Amino acid sequence: MADDLIAAREHVRNGTRTAGDLLDACLAAAALPAAHFAFTRLRADDAAAAARAADHARAAGQPVSPLAGLAVSVKDLFDVRGEVTTAGSKVLRDAAPATTDAAAVARLRRAGAALIGRSNMTEFAFSGVGINPHYGTPANVATARLGDATPRIPGGSTSGGAVSVASGAALAALGSDTAGSIRIPAALQGLVGFKNTASLTPTAGALPLSTTLDTVCAITRTVRDAVLLHEVLADRQVVLEGRPLRASRFGVARAVMQEGLDPSVARAFDASLDTLSKAGACIEELPLPEISELAGMQARGSFSAAEAWAWHRELLAGHESDYDHRVARRIRIGETMSAADYVDLHRNRREWMVRMHAALRGFDAVLSPTVPIPAPPIAGLEGDDDAFFHTNALLLRNTIVVNLLDGCAITLPCQAPGTPPVGLMLWAPGHRDDRLLDTALAVEAALLARTKATT
């Protein structure tokens, strides 16, 4: 299989491999133990039709579509015409099939993607851990490949999507990011996860968690693949300037985001800063005490709790026993929020964003660890609610800052060879997506050069 989506597309366009062959490789990977529980449903026939269309276009001398009949998984949060959208739940298994594709699915299909299957997820997308008691929990592929026999969490909520890409069952994964649900599983499995400014991609046809924070985006293997997927999902062209790192100014957030780092994460993060500094980037300490205000701002509840409660309250009234009890517990926090609490939360967020924008003026991006810990074992969290909620809070702690900022962010693998995955997060205020992606390409190149120099 080609290393990434764009390389695979070039194979199809050049005729060195067919889309059908590449899809067969993905389907074979989907049948292997590494992809166990990654999908709730495979769509081999429909995917094969898209691959054939790409191959026929190439044979006829016609332009090959942007996604060239290549395999993309679809988080089971998005409507796919003719199928039931369960959102990782038992509650919705008997719901009516969707009559139309979600907007994001339609754009992928129009771009020629082979929609290989619906990927598993945290129930209703409400956790960064990735455990699903209804459809099974896919294990972390990256840690298993290092010879670690202990099944570790995939990260959530786009758990199956990340596993589909890490295992080779898909070349990219459509998912969502409300508080980190793209970036967390990408970071824990050595992948790239780009969270665009929320308004750039349509959420129509995706089951909501938080209508305020939900973002439609993707997990890929490389930054250039992230650019391609964003162009498809946002229906816009990304403008890349090719700016060198020596033209970049980065802030390093110390408040909250570097508290209690696992030593392996701290080492990888510090080594990444050193690499970027040696490449000529300007790196400055950035206090950002505003981040410390977020706990107090959400003391009476979060956007996700309030807005999920509004959506789920009738289902919970009659079917709470069918929910993952941890998900139901988090949703019910919204039940205790008053209208005044919710209005205050919106107002406080707007004021906080103004101060954050002022603090970040002049920086191309902020650098932070994506998550403060490596992937813990699944077994230690499945039966221990206290451990689960503690870990979930840690996983979401850094990434949620960007969602509340209405910003954009990307996570890149930055660990040393042979060590568990660690994510380096670059983030910025909203609508700086193109500059962020441009900068991420340069950062990725520097990190890859460091890896090659040490192997």
Residues 344-397: tens digit of each pLDDT: 999 999 999 999 999 999 999 999 999 999 999 999 999 999 999 999 999 999
Q: Is the distance from CB of 255 to CB of 289 less than 8 angstroms?
A: yes
The set of residues, in sequence order, having a beta carbon less than 8 Å from that of 296 and lying 6+ positions away, is none
Taking the complete model, does pTM exceed 0.95, yes or no? yes
> CA-to-CA distance for 216 and 206, rounded, in angstroms?
9
Q: Nearest CA to 285 among 246, 255, 313, 262?
A: 255
Q: What pLDDT is stored for residue 1 in this prediction?
A: 42
181 assigned to active site: yes
Q: Which of 65, 73, 89, 157 is catalytic?
A: 157
| Of 119, 181, 210, 272, catalytic | 181
| 75 in catalytic set | yes
Identity of the residue numbered 64: V
DSSP secondary structure, 120-166, as one string: P-SGGG--SS---TTT--PPPHHHHHTT--S-B---SSSHHHHHHHH
Where are the chain's structural domains?
1-290+355-377+392-455
Catalytic residue of the set 65, 75, 164, 195: 75
| Neighbouring C-beta atoms of residue 357, cutoff 10 Å | 14
Q: Which CATH number does 1-290+355-377+392-455 carry? A: 3.90.1300.10
Looking at 338-433, which runs of residues are DSSP E strands?
365-369, 408-413, 423-428
Concerning whether 157 is annotated as a catalytic residue, the answer is yes
| Structure confidence at residue 2 as a pLDDT band (50, 70, 90) | low
Per residue in 101-146, pLDDT (tens digit) is 999 999 999 999 999 999 999 999 999 999 999 999 999 999 999 9
Model confidence band, residue 454 (pLDDT cutoffs 50, 70, 90): confident
**Helical spans, DSSP H, in 178-324:** 183-188, 223-234, 263-278, 294-297, 303-319
